[in-house]
A and B are shown apart, each in its own frame.
Chain A
Amino acid sequence: MEVRPLFPALDRQIYGKPLIYFDNAATAQRPRSVLELQDRMCVEANGNIHRAVHRLSADATELYEAGREAVRRFINAPARENVVFTSGTTASINLVASCFAERYLTPGDRILISEAEHHSNLVSWQLACERHGASLEVLPVDEDGDIALPELERRLQAAEGRIKLVALAHISNVLGVVNPVREVVDIAHRHAVPVLLDGAQGVVHAPVDVQALNCDFYAFSGHKIYAPTGIGVLYGKRKWLDAMPPYMGGGEMIETVSFEKTTYAPLPLKFEAGTQNYVAAACMAPALELAQRMAEDEALQAAQRTMRDYLLEELRKIDGLRLYGTPREAERKIPLFSFAVEGAFAGDLAQILDKMGIAVRSGHMCAEPLLRRYGQTSLLRASLAPYNTLAECETFVASLRRAIKMLR
């Protein structure tokens, strides 16, 4: 399957050089099918969803719910009630951090996270803990970027029921290592502790079947999986979504309203107060349809593995380059590489690479505690998508070597 022509953004020239887009973990480019639906909906079906009886509203509602159905199928959620639309991963996690904590967190309780969490899956819990007199328990990662399951077991055992939730990245945005989430869920459930998975990267790179994973919550964003920005998903098990109080009050989340008492709309609308980003939600359908096709394309998957192995090998050859997130089993590594280079500051490298037409990320990657653990303040990250090519990887390595030489 030829994917590059599906993404018009990839044709761009940057400073007269062909764009090499290696910042896919931050946001992915969008395919024509998404752009076309986005446009068409703004012209033909721009009516506020779930409310009016007129045709535009009905069409928009239908497309919105089709987006939800596409999400349900993609992650194999049991029913549409399990799929709540939010504005993104951060909003999804905050929803749980707010509503779950409200219902279940009491002083002295703890939320267990790992050392490798994105700030979204850290600060939201910190805020919840502050509000409820609870605290964070942090599971360390080792030099390779792995969490230790026996340590998780030990912590849960020692906590004697005070750990109320485990919140963990499916794949860390810095390390690019697929965490053993199935095992984590099993261990946590043996201690009757629910698990939230931050799937911002996971949903893009690992097949996600929420029922097989048996996680209690799964959060992800649309824009990292070829949909527009401003749309995200919170998958939740019925028992939790039913038990949790609403997040925001407003339109569409109600059943009946009076000044004395309001009853809430059934799931999932209970958590969807206010006008939703219905265009972006509808675009989840073509975006996930393409993601599915790319995931099922064996040649494309093989090409991705080749690029990953090539970069792993070539980056390791560079003198003074320290790569983070290096699991023993290469199969657990996604094509995402964060590293520091001795004598060449990541921000400088990114700036020079930009001038060579290469888009990479630099900085603390929204994971300051993890960088601190590795004694770094800033890393460079190259993250690939199925539309990237081996030729781009070769240019990237050569350009990186040149930039390092300039700086040393």
Chain B
Amino acid sequence: MNTIQDIQAGIVEEFAVFTDWMDKYEYLIELGKGMPLIDEKDKTDEHLIKGCQSRVWLACKPENGRLRFSADSDAIITKGIISLLLKVYDNQTPADILAANEDFIEQIGLKENLSPTRANGLVSMIATIKEYARRGIPGQARDEGGHDRKELEPDIIAALRNVYDPEIPVNVYDLGLIYEIQADADGVVFVKMTLTAPNCPIADEVVAQVQEAVADVPGVKEVQVDLVFEPEWTTDRMSEEAKLELGML
């Protein structure tokens, strides 16, 4: 699997051969024409990003911890640029997507296309890609600058795997109760979680256990737990192992 940096460097190299605007546009148009279209059924208002100049559709689905994007636009140059962006972002992990930037667009001389004044939907499209990445996978941190968070994360997850809902023989992490883990460089950890039912009589106890377990992880200075019931937990959030354990598979 190529890294985002490799792909971006490749695109910059490809564009280096164009000396003329028209050649560059010809190429973008070819890319746009060749781009696999979004599934017609995904070309819905829900996936529509509206600009004054052109419209863009973007759909996203997770696949093996990576995000798969498909997109379309009614403008073909916009579509060409979308195909460059998807080359970069499609089939990458949420963390890599969040860590990446779009400087390569400027390097290939198409920066004006990402100007908010263009109103072609591309700026909103990138924001939407990042938003998908942010929501992507439980355990994905929001903080882009914190290098420590990646080192802390496996330990935090390991700690959470020791916390059990007393009525279910599966730990809270594999049950899918943990919606979000954010750790900043200062060791402050934010956990967003839910419970299997809003009226859970032992809610406080489980939250306290999560708090304790994470606080014990070396490097963690402070823990904040946010208990939410939106979105609602369903059995779909359970890991394969958890389902197996509970005889659901």
Contacts and interface: CB of A to CB of B under 8 A. Distances in A.
A258 B53 CA distance: 51
A406 B53 contact: no
Contact of A377 (B25, B55, B76): B55
B25 A347 contact: no
Interface in B122-140: none
A58 to B, nearest CB: 41
B26 A347 contact: no
B29 A345 contact: no
Nearest to A366: B52
Contacts of B53: 347, 350, 362-363, 378
Most buried by B among A347, A351, A378: A347
B43 to A, nearest CB: 14
Contact of A407 (B29, B52, B54, B74): B29
A363 B76 contact: no
Nearest to B53: A347
A355 B21 contact: yes
Contacts of A35: none
A407 B76 contact: yes
Interface string A2-13: 000000000000
Contacts of B211: none
A364 B52 contact: yes
Contacts of B120: 347
Contacts of B78: 347-348
A232 B19 CA distance: 45
A406 B25 contact: yes
B11 to A, nearest CB: 19
B172 interface: no
A347 B29 contact: no
Contacts of A363: 52-53, 119
A355 B22 contact: yes
Given A347-B53, A347-B120, A15 B21 contact: yes
Nearest to B113: A351
A406 B25 CA distance: 9
A92 to B, nearest CB: 23
Contacts of A348: 29, 75-78
Given A363-B119, A377-B55, A345 B76 contact: yes
Contacts of B77: 347-348, 351-352
Interface in B39-91: 52-55, 74-78
Given A347-B77, A363-B119, 10 more contacts: A345-B74, A347-B54, A347-B75, A347-B120, A348-B29, A377-B55, A378-B54, A406-B26, A406-B29, A407-B76
Interface of B: 21-22, 25-26, 29, 52-55, 74-78, 119-120
30 contacts: A345-B74, A345-B75, A347-B53, A347-B74, A347-B75, A347-B77, A347-B78, A347-B120, A348-B29, A348-B75, A350-B53, A351-B25, A352-B22, A352-B25, A355-B21, A355-B22, A355-B25, A362-B53, A363-B52, A363-B119, A364-B52, A377-B74, A378-B53, A378-B54, A378-B74, A406-B25, A406-B26, A406-B29, A407-B29, A407-B76
User: 6 closest Cβ contacts across the A-B interface?
Assistant: A347-B53, A347-B75, A355-B21, A345-B75, A347-B54, A348-B77
